[in-house]
Structure 1
């Protein structure tokens, strides 16, 4: 989930101006009027925060840089799994259509991976997941909401809340490999963008036991910062693990190392693409 910086500044400005007026007028204003003023301020701030820029889908490829001197273009979709790389091949990506539906958008790619096409839209999935926009209680989509969608469809679901999370980096890498070798995408939420869902679809050890140079490949529904908006991220596995927590969105007991997997009820093993 992301929140437009301009929107946040506008909301902050509304609050600041209103509070200044409140301070100036407090000696001549009754308590009920003061309360009404503060309620009006809160309502306006929430309204501003709920405005939406259309997500990354609204700016598709606008930040792309051909032959970027800083980011190498890699055709992840056509890469082959093998050697030191474990990859879910031909994994289709998707860009979210609001600033707060990274969870449903990430889940949609998992549905596409298993079924070919997603029967539900991003926003229909968001409704089932009880996804909330910024300014509301429990903004974004929590692990319970993500799981709810798949459970209602009869899929087999595992998640951090009921199954626990890897407690060491080494166990995390084993956990990733165990899922990928079974052909299972791993939905994860971490501090990226302050709180963001992506899907781990690949892991490469680079052929040695130096865990610090391991690489993860993720499907990212808000892929706007690597000069190629193809929906893929290639990142350090160790940096991800040590930043695997939520900053602003989830309840206190649900902030650390959130993940889930979901497979159709008749899924037997790795898919042949």
Structure 2
């Protein structure tokens, strides 16, 4: 349970969790100040350094390289800005009584900037990292070294990208490609040799992404994510440990120039005039990569989070539904190998949302390139090798029949656009459905989820049939239709006919209230006995640790802290979830694998029935998702009345009286 509290204020979720009081006025003043270790200083004014007030009678000393001693000094822009400061001897209000200064030009002599690991660096972190693991993980050739200042000073942050991982010996659900050595070819544009940087705190994902960019251009000069945090500029009433908005990301690059650490930068962002449209242009992305320019993106992955696009594979097709992005992820803790690389569907990322300070926008991006002196030639080779051991099942035996869906579209929504030759639209469009399939995909592992059975680690609804939505907006109704089919209670209804009976039949997103209307309709029209509960029935509907009965929504399979999701699956009940996938989408949880590590959820995997399953190279209607990336980034921005933890669980009461009793649903 400790992880819940830590991670809710973690990553760049600090950007968005204002509704939970993160950084609010009741937080101890000392917590708002800079850590008591050496950090680069970007500005000094009004006796304030890195959000830390300095006492009027503070002791101030500066390192003198000639004598190899600290000598008495004074506070001024000349002595502070652009140098490293350690602020210590803080009182109960966080006011520092001592300032130690190390000049920038002396840093390489003062600390080992290339230190990959130091004995004991992870012993006090939560989770702890032993020396054997730390040496192995952080000495890899693809890893940017944290350096001695982090390892011996700050050490590793609790529940950060450097500690919160669970690697497994054999990768199961995720492909395990060597992206560091991967080369470009006729379909893949790749930044070969791009190194990864794992964030050393829970909130420095954007700054860690910048650190990786600086390393790529050869100008990082030993700086770490906390150094870059000090270059963002001040925010009135804010604190040092906080998430980073796009303007502050730009500030960091400008400050590096102002301090003479780097040259000038050519910067393009999504906030520029017409900039927001660039991410929707796959050719622009590929051209940026061909020029050697990584692209930092901010979107709701694990809550609001920054990652860096370092590769793009168009799979040799003109359409983008199958296109794959290779990502440098500073919080790469959930794909069972924390090498700092992950993949993402281009369409899902570009259609995603970014929630900051409760304001919702599309996916943000920034690309910064040296204004002068940068020359780049792609490394051309074989790309990512086809995985001939990864054979998929491409029949539709696991799918529900579309039945009279085409007739219902004509009857209820005759103005539906982009109909295929089967009279359907959306993911079910004839000629479009399964057009993104790729057997032997090197990016997505294939499984026969339809016939898969539960075992010691996996709980799955065997023979759960899937359905693709027949319009661009009926994902909610399609999810409901799949659940009805699971319980053999469909009564011939289609996603379209169900949609007609919620929200006055209007087109557009289905809200939680609309999902409830669908099951009310089934009870009244077909004399069924559906009973349901939603996140609003939890003891804390939008909280970080939410219960119904004895079961916690955010928990896994720990014996004395059992999760609601695995409990329901054990009772053969699927869970319909609404969240910001695809910019707003409903899916159905039909499986959960704890990977044999019940006390840790970093490696846990969800299997979902997805009504718009067009991007994972096998449109069988199933997708996989990290358990943690769902529960710690569970936003439904499309539903203003219900923006967090949105779900509905519906089942026939007569078939599950024991669940009704256990959850007190009467």
In structure 2, the CA distance between the partners of 1:183 and 1:103, relative to structure 1 (3 Å rule), is same
* Structure that is richer in helix per residue: 1
Which consecutive unaligned segments of at least 5 residues does structure 1 have? 7-49, 134-138
What is the aligned length?
217
Write the distance in 2 (CA, Å) between the matches of 1:262 and 1:211: 26
| 2:554 maps to 1:172 | yes
Q: CA deviation at 1:178?
A: 1.6
Per-residue deviation at 1:171? 4.1
With CA pairs under 8 Å and 6+ residues apart, which has the higher RCO, 1 or 2?
1
Structure with higher Rg: it is: 2
Corresponding position of 1:77: 450
1:263 is paired with a residue whose SS is: strand
Q: List per-residue Cα deviations over 1:168-194 (Å, max 9, x = no partner).
A: 397423010121111111000111001
Q: Among 590, 613, 624, which residue is 1:234 paired with?
A: 624
Aligned position for 1:39: none
Change (3 A) 1:71 1:79: same
The aligned runs of 1:242-257 (5 Å cut-off) are 242-247=632-637, 249-251=638-640, 253-257=641-645
Equivalence for 2:590:
201
1:219-265: CA deviations, max 9, x gaps? Answer: 00000110000000111111111221123x211x3111110011113
Q: Give 1:151 deviation, angstroms.
A: 2.4
Greater mean alpha carbon deviation, residues 124-133 or residues 225-234: 124-133
Deviations 1:108-157 (A, max 9, x none): 00000001655311111001122543xxxxx3100111011112314101
1:28-81 CA distance string (max 9 Å, x none):
xxxxxxxxxxxxxxxxxxxxxx74561000121100001111111100001011
Q: Does 1:159 align with 2:540?
A: no
8 Å CA contact retained: 1:132, 1:141: no
Which of 145, 149, 152 aligns to 2:518? It is: 149
Q: Which has the higher strand share?
A: 2
| TM-aligned CA distance change 1:268 to 1:250, over 3 Å | closer
Cα separation, partners in 2 of 1:64 and 1:166, compared to 1, 3 Å? farther
Structure 1 residues 109, 55: CA separation in 2 closer, same or farther (over 3 Å shift)? same
Q: TM-score of the superposition, structure 1-length normalised?
A: 0.73
Are 1:166 and 1:175, in contact at CA under 8 Å, matched by a contact in 2? no
Query: Equivalents in 2 of 1:100, 1:91: separation in Å?
Result: 22
Q: Retained in 2: the 8 A contact 1:86–1:204?
A: yes
Question: Is 113-122 or 184-193 further displaced after alignment?
Answer: 113-122
| Structure 2: runs of 5 or more not aligned | 1-279, 282-415, 420-424, 524-528, 547-551, 556-562, 659-666
